[in-house]
Amino acid sequence: MKIVSLELFKVAPRWLFLKTTADDGTVGWGEPVIEGRADTVAAAVKELSPYVIGRDPAHIEDLFQVMYRAGFYRGGPVLTSAISGIEQSLWDIRGKSLGLPVYDILGGPVREKIQVYCWIGGDRPDDTAAAAKEKASQGYHAVKMNGTAELDYIDTWAKVEAAVGRVAAIRDALGKDFGIAVDFHGRVHQAMARVLMKELEPYHLMFIEEPVLIENLEAFAELRRHTSTPLATGERNFTRWGFKEILTRGVADIIQPDLCHAGGILEVRKIAAMAETFDVAVAPHCPLGPIAFAASLQLDYGTPNAVIQEQSLGIHYNQGADLLDYLVDRTVFDYKDGSVYRNARPGLGIEINEAKVKEAAAKGHEWKNPVWRTADGVVAEW
Residues 141, 189, 285, 365: which is the catalytic one? 285
pLDDT of residue 131: 92
Q: Is 204 a catalytic residue?
A: no
pLDDT of residue 204: 97
pLDDT of residue 123: 72
In the three-class reduction of DSSP (H, G, I as helix; E, B as strand; rest coil), residue 254 is classed as strand
The contacts of residue 57 (CB under 8 Å, 6+ apart) are 1, 2, 3, 20, 22, 26, 28, 63, 90, 93, 94, 97
Q: Could you give the dihedral angle defined by the CA atoms of residues 5, 10, 14 and 16, in that order, rounded to the nearest 10 degrees?
A: 0
Spatial separation of the C-alpha atoms in residues 347 and 91, rounded to whole Å? 6
pLDDT of residue 298: 98
Closest CA to 7 of 376, 303, 357, 367: 357
Max intra-chain CA distance, the chain: 63
pLDDT of residue 218: 93
pLDDT of residue 121: 77
Q: Identify the helix (H) or strand (E) that includes residue 336.
A: strand 334-336
Spatial separation of the C-alpha atoms in residues 95 and 102, rounded to whole Å? 6
Spatial separation of the C-alpha atoms in residues 360 and 139, rounded to whole Å? 31
pLDDT of residue 39: 98
Residues 141, 185, 189, 261: which is the catalytic one? 185
pLDDT of residue 319: 85
**pTM, to two decimals:** 0.96
pLDDT of residue 126: 76
Q: Is 141 a catalytic residue?
A: no
The alpha carbons of the chain give a radius of gyration, in whole angstroms, of 20
CA separation (Å) from 358 to 7, 9, 11, 182, 246?
Answer: 11, 7, 8, 36, 40
Tens-digit pLDDT profile for the chain (382 aa)?
999 999 999 999 999 999 999 999 999 999 999 999 999 999 999 999 999 999 999 999 999 999 999 999 999 999 999 999 999 999 999 999 999 999 999 999 999 999 999 999 767 777 889 999 999 999 999 999 999 988 999 999 999 999 999 999 999 999 999 999 999 999 999 999 999 999 999 999 999 999 999 999 999 999 999 899 999 999 999 999 999 999 999 999 999 999 999 999 999 999 999 999 999 999 999 999 999 999 999 999 999 999 999 999 988 888 889 999 999 999 999 999 999 999 999 999 999 999 999 999 999 999 999 999 999 999 999 8
